[in-house]
């Protein structure tokens, strides 16, 4: 029971960290991660808030994964779906785009955002309580097309960004980070956490094991 509680806490921490990362990326206004680009495109046509769109899209991704590979879902998947949007909405009360902010500071926000997003995703996956919405699609693609984790993420991010752009979402240097760097960053953080786990003999297992 204590191990389950520990893993649930890790799911929450990872989800919150990743959600905070997304808001830093959006606040930088230099091009967003893939899902944020899609949401920003959707916002051109609806009045649904950003955080709520995040939850709705997460639910759609979860349902898609449930149809194809439901065994990789779990209680963590539900927590991630509900908590991720709330974390974004919470930080939006304190950090938003400001027209007077320098490019250098915005770029720092961008780098911090992607780092937090990748780290939070890796932390979340360490709990092994079910894949997150986008990660579920990523693992399905790995299984279906025999892609590696990082190349599956690149393919998914490219597709989502393309749809977001068609809907009116803006592109920028952050979009390139989303397509080509986020997958490798997540894989790198997973590897780092695995090495930490091996060194300190932590009781948690990874989804990859």
Contacts 24+ apart (CB under 8 A), 184-188: 184/150, 185/114, 185/115, 185/118, 186/118, 186/121, 186/122, 186/149, 186/150, 186/153, 187/148, 187/149, 187/150, 188/118
> Would you state the structure tokens that stand for residue 26, as one six-digit string?
């959006």
User: Mean pLDDT throughout 66-87?
Assistant: 91
pLDDT in tens, 128-164: 899 888 888 888 888 877 777 778 878 888 899 999 9
**Cβ(8)–Cβ(152) below 8 Å:** no
What's the start-to-end Cα distance of the chain, in Å?
21
Q: How far apart are CA 168 and CA 83, in angstroms?
A: 26
CA distances from 180 to 24, 120, 185 (A): 19, 18, 9
pLDDT in tens, 22-75: 999 999 999 988 898 999 999 999 989 888 899 999 999 999 899 888 898 999
> Would you state the structure tokens that stand for residue 7, as one six-digit string?
């893993």
Residue 99 has pLDDT above 70, yes or no: yes
**Cβ(113)–Cβ(76) below 8 Å:** no
The more confidently predicted of residues 50 and 20 is 20
């Amino acid at each position: 029971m204590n191990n389950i509680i520990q893993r649930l806490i890790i799911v929450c921490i990872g989800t919150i960290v990743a959600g905070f990362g997304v808001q830093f990326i959006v606040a930088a206004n230099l091009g967003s991660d893939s899902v944020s680009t899609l949401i920003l495109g959707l916002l051109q046509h609806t009045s649904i808030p950003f955080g709520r769109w995040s939850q709705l899209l997460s639910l759609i991704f979860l349902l898609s994964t449930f149809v194809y590979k439901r065994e990789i879902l779990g209680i963590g998947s539900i927590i991630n779906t509900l908590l991720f949007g709330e974390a974004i909405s919470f930080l939006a009360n304190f950090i938003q785009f400001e027209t007077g902010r320098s490019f250098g500071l915005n770029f720092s926000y961008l780098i911090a955002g992607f780092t937090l997003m990748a780290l939070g995703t890796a932390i979340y996956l360490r709990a092994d309580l079910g894949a997150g919405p986008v990660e579920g699609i990523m693992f399905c693609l790995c299984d279906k097309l025999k892609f590696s984790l990082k190349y599956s993420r690149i393919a998914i991010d490219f597709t989502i960004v393309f749809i977001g752009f068609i809907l009116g979402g803006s592109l920028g240097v952050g979009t390139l980070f989303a397509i080509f760097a986020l997958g490798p960053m997540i894989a790198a953080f997973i590897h780092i956490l695995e090495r930490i786990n091996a060194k300190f003999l932590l009781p948690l297992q990874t989804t990859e094991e």
